[in-house]
Amino acid sequence: MSLSQDNSTQAAQRLKKFANGNETFQKSYFKKHEAQLLSLVKDGQHPRALFIGCSDSRVIPDLIVQSNPGDLFVIRNVGNFVAPYKPDEDFHSTAAGIEYAVGVLKVSEIIICGHSHCGAIAALYESSCDSSMVHTYKWLTLGEKAKSMALVALGETTSHEELLRATEHLSIVTQIENLLTYPYVKKLVDEEKLFIHGWYYDIGTGGIEYYDPDSYQFRPLSDLIK
């Protein structure tokens, strides 16, 4: 299938903002950091961490932690979910990314980062269902355990917003549990060669909380630098 010339021209106009942005990037950031970026071409990537985040356009991993190219290997999907390990030959995008980051890139840290006002979590509480979105609704079932935990902990009489925030936090914990079903991940964690972190990004403040497994609580990430 090919675009007609008229459609191609219209598409180019709609994407003009991004074209201008790339031109600015090449003339400013790329030029200023050319030596560093070319070393990544020559020497390849050696990221320290795998970052599993949400596809939400408001959550930009490199921006929120001010990391540089080459620092993070990033997987983004709806809801920052991790499906349990399933060793079959079907298509598993997130699992393939985890496998590559751990097995080939040898990352030492895995960050699962959820966020506030998450559309995937909100969808868990919506009764309407578009039957055409079969892949989305199947994927959202990965958040059901967190929803059930939030309802048990807070009860159905609590406010809707409190339920959403609690579910967002609890989902991070349940995705960590799912991640530990991957045998090669569990093995390296047990050997203390790989470390898993749960983060919660508040899009309203820019702040990040981290999950403390000793207290079963989320604490400000800024506490780690005090």
Predicted confidence (pLDDT) per residue in 15-61, tens digit: 999 999 999 999 999 999 999 999 999 999 999 999 999 999 999 99
> Which class in CATH covers the domain with range 47-225?
alpha beta
Residue that the structure tokens 């979105």 belong to: 133
User: What does pTM read for this prediction?
Assistant: 0.93
**pLDDT for position 127:** 80
In this prediction, residues 180-209 reach a mean pLDDT of 98
**pLDDT for position 131:** 76
pLDDT of 226 strictly over 60: yes
The more confidently predicted of residues 5 and 9 is 9
In this prediction, residues 198-216 reach a mean pLDDT of 97
Nearest to 221 by CA among 204, 203, 197: 197
The token pair at 182 is: 């991957």
For the chain, which residues make up each domain, given as ranges?
47-225
Q: What is the CA radius of gyration of the chain?
A: 20
Write out the H or E segment, with its range, that includes residue 14: helix 5-14
Active site residues: 54, 56, 58, 115, 118
**pLDDT for position 168:** 98
In this prediction, residues 88-111 reach a mean pLDDT of 97
Q: What is the β-pairing status of strands 49-54 and 72-77?
A: parallel
Write out the H or E segment, with its range, that includes residue 52: strand 49-54
In this prediction, residues 120-125 reach a mean pLDDT of 96
Q: Distance between CA atoms of 101 and 137, rounded to whole angstroms?
A: 27
The token pair at 80 is: 């920052």
pLDDT of 9 strictly over 80: no
Q: Which residues of 162-180 are buried (b: 16+ CB within 10 A; e: fewer)?
A: ebbbbbbbbbbbbbbebbb
The average confidence (pLDDT) of the chain is 94
The more confidently predicted of residues 190 and 127 is 190
DSSP state string for 102-114? HHTS--SEEEEEE
pLDDT of 180 strictly over 70: yes
